[in-house]
């Protein structure tokens, strides 16, 4: 159900005179507001200069930036898209607003069209991305979040846009810290959200993490810009909804804790990145090799995080495995070095002083069909592209044990990979049979043009550094 003032400018005075509207549209999150000491009144609108300063500190934009902005139509994203549009235009660039229609509520399609109308009236290009297919009956918010980022990042990748802005703000940051504190997260988790992180095909940027929601509402009031409300934001069925109604902690206290852990995380990430650079090698067939000695000599916490990063990268997951599982893996690899182990859809196989990390076939995606001129991201790890004039169609899948045995007997070229790796090598089939195994230089006679196959894991081995604004 829509609540609020669709099509009607909303002022802060109007909110205060209507407690029902205020609770939905400008409610605090789980934290009580406390006086800020940054010199800015919480009722002053956020300025273009302040947004520009935050984006400059994050850095990494082109001279004429082209950026996408995720716009739900809520107050935070509407405020961000207005200022981001001016920021980009001032630099000779442009933005595109992106709205994801999850289809989880009957009115979601109409809401997306309303946002398109608002942005169109301001001359801001806009696209609606629809979540197609069946929706889950449990874990709805997590599934919707994964679909939202998949659709947004996919649009950016297809349109050559390198930066995606989202409107997570100060109260969201405090809320994330509280959720992770309740889940007993370590220092990395308690640092809450980074102002920049990588997604497949683009960079996610959150320039408003230090900005109170009240200042975004003040901007919308000054601009006479209406916004939408999502009633699920206060639904006690979801953890965030329960927190938003609890109001148990000071926002300033939450943010102070978050910054303390952010400093710790930044320092630890430097150590982790340095260890990854020394200890890990990636192979374009979707494999990794870890120097076993580094697992023994590196600090336990850093070595366990390294194993988690490698598992997420090679396993194609969209998340890191739990720390306790990475700790058990490290302990096992050191205690019984000859025994293979599994984590996060991967096999960790000791070999010649190293640990080879392979995709676990039982956890992998099934083969997929690729038409001539088509493109697909298969198993969340490989970008496969077939030219329009290429042979086809092809099936893309892992070689498997049976085909690997046939290939070995056929005397495939020696490329330095151990034979136990062959079953998890990506391969191509056509109507005749096995057509190619690119990473061992096998191509069946008579095949003229093969699809291009590149290792593009959904979770990269290294990430954008944790950033604070």
The secondary structure of 370-406 as a DSSP string is E-TT-EEEETTTEEEE--TTS---EEEEE-HHHHHHH
* Domain assignment of residue 270, yes or no: no
* Domain assignment of residue 264, yes or no: no
Which has more confidence, 336 or 41? 336
* Domain assignment of residue 268, yes or no: no
Give the mean pLDDT of 386-390: 75
Q: Are residues 199 and 78 in the same domain?
A: yes
Q: Are residues 292 and 215 in the same domain?
A: no
Domain boundary among 362, 379, 396: 362
* Domain assignment of residue 157, yes or no: yes
Q: Are residues 308 and 222 in the same domain?
A: no
Q: Are residues 347 and 426 in the same domain?
A: no
Give the mean pLDDT of 176-180: 92
* CATH code where residue 60 lies: 3.40.50.620
Domain boundary among 338, 362, 386: 362
Counted domains in the chain: 3
Quote the percentage of the chain above a pLDDT of 90.
Answer: 66
Which has more confidence, 317 or 212? 212
Q: Are residues 57 and 151 in the same domain?
A: yes
Measured CA to CA, the distance from residue 54 to residue 65 in angstroms comes to 15
Q: Are residues 173 and 65 in the same domain?
A: yes
Quote the percentage of the chain above a pLDDT of 70.
Answer: 84
Whether the CB-CB separation of 175 and 243 falls below 8 Å is answered with yes
224-241 pLDDT tens trace: 999 998 766 555 455 555
Q: Are residues 339 and 401 in the same domain?
A: no
pLDDT at 4 over 70: no
**pTM of the prediction?**
0.78
Q: What is the DSSP string of 253-297?
A: HHHHHHHHHHHHHHHHHHHHHHHHHHHEEEETTTEEEEEHHHHHH
The SS3 assignment for 231 reads: helix
Q: Are residues 204 and 219 in the same domain?
A: yes
The CA distances from residue 27 to 342, 357, 369, in Å, are: 45, 47, 49
The pLDDT of residue 360 is 96
Measured CA to CA, the distance from residue 335 to residue 254 in angstroms comes to 40
Q: What angle do CA 162, 168, 171 make, to 5 degrees?
A: 160
Q: Are residues 446 and 352 in the same domain?
A: no
Contacts of 31 (CB under 8 A, 6+ apart): 171, 174, 175, 178, 247, 248, 249, 250, 251, 253, 254
End-to-end CA distance of the chain: 35
Contacts of 379 (CB under 8 A, 6+ apart): 316, 359, 364, 365
Q: Which domain holds residue 40?
A: 12-247
The CA distances from residue 370 to 150, 253, 388, 397, 403, in Å, are: 20, 53, 11, 11, 20
* Domain assignment of residue 135, yes or no: yes
The pLDDT of residue 183 is 85
Domain boundary among 199, 223, 247: 247
Q: Are residues 97 and 241 in the same domain?
A: yes
The CA distances from residue 227 to 5, 70, 119, 168, in Å, are: 7, 14, 11, 16
Burial class (CB in 10 A: 0-12, 13-18, 19+), 52: middle
pLDDT at 252 over 80: yes
Measured CA to CA, the distance from residue 453 to residue 448 in angstroms comes to 15
* Domain assignment of residue 196, yes or no: yes
pLDDT at 26 over 50: no
Contacts of 181 (CB under 8 A, 6+ apart): 190, 257
What is the pLDDT confidence band of residue 80, given thresholds at 50, 70 and 90?
A: very high
* Domain assignment of residue 126, yes or no: yes
Would you say the C-alpha torsion 174, 177, 178, 179 has a positive or negative sign?
positive
99-149 pLDDT tens trace: 999 998 899 999 999 999 999 999 999 999 999 988 887 888 889 998 999
The pLDDT of residue 30 is 33
Q: Are residues 358 and 393 in the same domain?
A: no
Which residue(s) pair with 101 in the sheet? Answer: 130
**Considering only CA atoms, which of 356, 365, 374 is closest in space to residue 453?**
374
Q: Are residues 127 and 104 in the same domain?
A: yes
* Domain assignment of residue 241, yes or no: yes
What is the pLDDT confidence band of residue 5, given thresholds at 50, 70 and 90?
A: very low
The pLDDT of residue 184 is 86
């Amino acid at each position: 159900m829509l609540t609020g003032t669709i099509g009607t400018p909303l002022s802060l005075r109007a909110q205060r005179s209507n407690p029902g509207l205020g609770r939905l549209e400008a409610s605090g999150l789980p934290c009580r507001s406390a006086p800020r000491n940054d010199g800015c009144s919480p009722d002053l609108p956020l300025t273009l200069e302040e947004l520009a300063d935050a984006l400059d500190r994050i850095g990494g934009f082109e001279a004429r930036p082209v950026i996408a902005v995720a716009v739900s139509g809520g107050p935070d994203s509407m405020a961000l898209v207005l200022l981001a549009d001016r920021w980009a235009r001032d630099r000779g660039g442009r933005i595109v607003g992106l709205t994801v229609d999850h289809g989880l509520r009957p009115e979601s399609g109409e809401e997306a069209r309303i946002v398109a109308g608002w942005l169109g009236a301001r001359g801001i290009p806009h696209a609606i991305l629809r979540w197609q297919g069946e929706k889950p009956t449990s874990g709805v918010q997590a599934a919707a979040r994964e679909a939202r980022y998949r659709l947004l990042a996919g649009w950016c990748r297809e349109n050559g846009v390198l930066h995606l802005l989202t409107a997570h703000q100060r109260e969201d940051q405090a809320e994330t810290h509280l959720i992770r504190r309740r889940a007993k997260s370590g220092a990395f988790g308690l640092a809450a959200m980074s102002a920049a992180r990588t997604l497949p095909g683009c960079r996610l940027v959150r320039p408003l993490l230090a900005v109170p929601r009240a200042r975004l509402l003040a901007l919308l009031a000054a601009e006479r810009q209406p916004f939408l409300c999502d009633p699920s934001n206060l639904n006690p069925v979801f953890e965030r909804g329960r927190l938003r109604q609890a109001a148990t902690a000071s926002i300033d206290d939450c943010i102070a804790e978050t910054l303390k852990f952010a400093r710790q995380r930044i320092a630890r990430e430097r150590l982790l990145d340095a260890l990854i650079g020394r200890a890990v090698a990636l192979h374009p067939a979707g494999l990794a090799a870890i120097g076993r000695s580094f697992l023994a000599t590196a600090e336990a916490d850093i070595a366990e995080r390294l194993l988690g990063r490698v598992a997420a990268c090679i396993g194609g997951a969209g998340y890191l495995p739990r720390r306790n599982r990475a700790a058990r893996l490290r302990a096992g690899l050191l205690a019984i070095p000859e025994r293979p182990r599994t984590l996060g859809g991967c096999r960790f196989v000791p070999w010649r002083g190293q640990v080879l990390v392979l995709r676990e076939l039982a956890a992998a995606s099934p083969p997929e069909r690729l038409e001539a001129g088509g493109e697909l991201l298969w198993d969340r790890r490989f970008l496969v592209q077939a030219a329009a004039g290429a042979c086809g169609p092809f099936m893309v899948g892992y070689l498997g044990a049976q085909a690997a045995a046939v290939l070995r007997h056929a005397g495939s070229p020696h490329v330095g990979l151990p034979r136990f790796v062959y079953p998890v090598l990506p391969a191509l089939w056509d109507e005749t049979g096995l057509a190619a195994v690119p990473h061992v230089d096998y191509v069946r006679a008579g095949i003229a043009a093969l699809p291009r196959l590149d290792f593009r894991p959904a979770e990269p081995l290294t990430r954008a550094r944790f950033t604070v604004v």
